[in-house]
Structure 1
Amino acid sequence: MKPAPFAYHAPSSLDEAVALLAEHGDGAKVLAGGQSLVPMLALRLAVFDHLIDLGRIPELRGLERRGGTIRLGAGTTHAAVGSSAEVAEAVPLLSRATPFIGHFQIRNRGTIGGAIAHADPAAEYPAVALALEAELETVSPRGQRTIPAADFFTGTWTTALADDEILTGVTFPVWGGRSGHAIEELARRHGDFAVAGATVALELDDDGRVGRCAIGLLGLGSTPERATAAEATVTGTAIADVDAQGVGEAAMAVLRSVPADLHGSADYRRRVGAAMVARAWRRAAQEALHG
């Protein structure tokens, strides 16, 4: 199929993009990398009169270390995120999630802002952003605002972004000390969306106890999920005393609505999810203990 007719706009500045979005209202849609939106347009699952391509706006690309955080412009491609030594050092979980995203052609075009704004519950970057308590920066004709990741994802493919807002950047905290990070997921084929997956970050204190941890879940709800109850059960516990399988089961226990489709029932997804959390926990724990 081919998309319905639309007018194409290619602004060269953020101010111009904001003005175009305000002018055309809910008949317009911003285009980041296009790796999710373009197929939806081609299948006519989405129809817009105007597309505003953000790809020629240089201020939306790049990264910057700011003390205890690192900020990535929303237009930074997956490939740039995955190849950055600075990202690998500052936010290892983000770097390690990148190879799971589609194929290299998709990673060369897709952007971190596009992936997060698309809000697919089976996608990697939204789960990482939620787990690590990232902050999402936006701009609109009313000015700028910052949205915590916990408040950003409102449903499948829906977010707290207003119709006239553009996601401009994502800021992640930098974890220090004895920390470990891992991502595990099960997909039918490499590059497919995950049936279920988990991201884990943990940090040990001087006594070898879990000082803090973050567990993000993908493919297990209508939005990315954070296993806060499971996190609470292990925080303050000696890492040697933590049962990884128990962490996985605790992460699944409080999920409200696990999807079921041709790829698997809700019960199957729960079992897979528990296994993915356990695997990711073991890998992250080993890294925190041994570097």
Structure 2
Amino acid sequence: MKPAAFDYARPADWPAALALLAGGARPMAGGQSLGPMLNLRLAQPERVADLRHLPGYAGVEVQGEAIRIGAGTTHAAIEDGAVPGRLGAILAGVARRIAYRPVRNRGTIGGSLAHADPAADWVAVLPAFPGHAVALGPYGERRIPLARFVTGVFETALAPGELLRAIELPVLPETARWSHWKFCRKPGEFSKATACLLALPDAPPRLVLAALDTAPLVIEDATGLDPAALVTSISDPWRRRLALTALRRVLEGAA
């Protein structure tokens, strides 16, 4: 199937992108999610705004104790070491397991997060970090805690007229402990259960359980966590078993 006809726009700057969005255009980054939706006619926008050429949309910048990752930074760039330090090593390990290299060459961290598929890797992983999503709208930038950015299945905290501009994450010490586990039947498939845990010195461990057909479950303090008690609300037995396995694996990995 081919997509329905639509107009294509390539804004040269952020004000032009926001104007297109206000006019009803559908934003597109790498197109790895929107492209198939267009082909299946699940999405039929009158106009698509290609954000890839916006200034500062891709790239990584260290700003004091924070690292700002442009929303248009590709999975492949992160996999290849664009993010420095301990944080970069963690994110590279996550990016390396996203689909296949051709997908990683075009797919973007911001596009994945804003699409908010509950099984997507960045949707599951980023809430584990005490960072922010940087949204840009008609009234300027605002910062949304990553733990509260994805609010439901394909739903985010972005307000009408806002675009995801960047992700800001803290510079991590080398002693930061990280554990991550996801279940896929084969490479390239979306996860059926994902869990990750970040433990920083002098701070309680943060844990995320995701890919459960809802917003990620973020546990700000996973000290003494009982995995079995956490999954009792999952009605489907096999999904509950997978979630329990994911929790146990990340807790064992962090220990």
TM-score after normalising by structure 1 = 0.81
Task: Report the structure, 1 or 2, having the larger helix content.
Answer: 1
Match of 2:228 in 1: 249
Q: Deviations over 1:183-218 (max 9, x none)?
A: 11111111100111111111355xxxxx42111122
Contact conserved, 2:62 with 2:68, CA < 8 A, in 1? yes
| Structure 2 residue 64 is matched with structure 1 residue 67 | yes
Larger Rg, first or second structure (1 or 2): 1
Runs of at least 5 residues in structure 2 that lack an aligned partner in the other structure: none
Please, which of 200, 206, 218 is the counterpart of residue 210 of structure 2?
218
Measure, in 2, the Cα distance between the counterparts of 1:5 and 1:257: 41
Range moving further from structure 2, 67-76 or 276-285: 276-285
Measure, in 2, the Cα distance between the counterparts of 1:4 and 1:95: 36
Identity %: 38
Match of 1:238 in 2: none
Measure, in 1, the Cα distance between the counterparts of 2:166 and 2:83: 17
| Structure 2 residue 52 is matched with structure 1 residue 55 | yes
TM-score after normalising by structure 2 = 0.92
Shift of 1:177: 5.7
Contact conserved, 1:196 with 1:220, CA < 8 A, in 2? yes
Q: RMSD of aligned C-alpha atoms?
A: 2.0
Amino acid at match of 1:141: P
Query: How many matched pairs?
Result: 255
Please, which of 269, 281, 284 is the counterpart of residue 254 of structure 2?
284
Match of 1:184 in 2: 181
**Large movers: runs of 4+ above 4 Å:** none
Match of 2:8 in 1: 8
| Structure 2 residue 141 is matched with structure 1 residue 144 | yes
| Structure 2 residue 43 is matched with structure 1 residue 39 | no
Measure, in 1, the Cα distance between the counterparts of 2:244 and 2:201: 22
Amino acid at match of 2:107: G
Shift of 1:85: 5.9
Runs of at least 5 residues in structure 1 that lack an aligned partner in the other structure: 206-210, 235-245, 259-265, 286-291
Shift of 1:147: 1.2
Contact conserved, 2:78 with 2:88, CA < 8 A, in 1? no
Match of 2:219 in 1: 227
Q: Deviations over 1:85-106 (max 9, x none)?
A: 6445235432221122111111
- Structural mapping, 1:87-106, within 5 Å: 87=84, 89-106=86-103
2:73 counterpart SS class? coil
**CA pair 93-145 structure 1, distance change in 2 beyond 3 A:** same
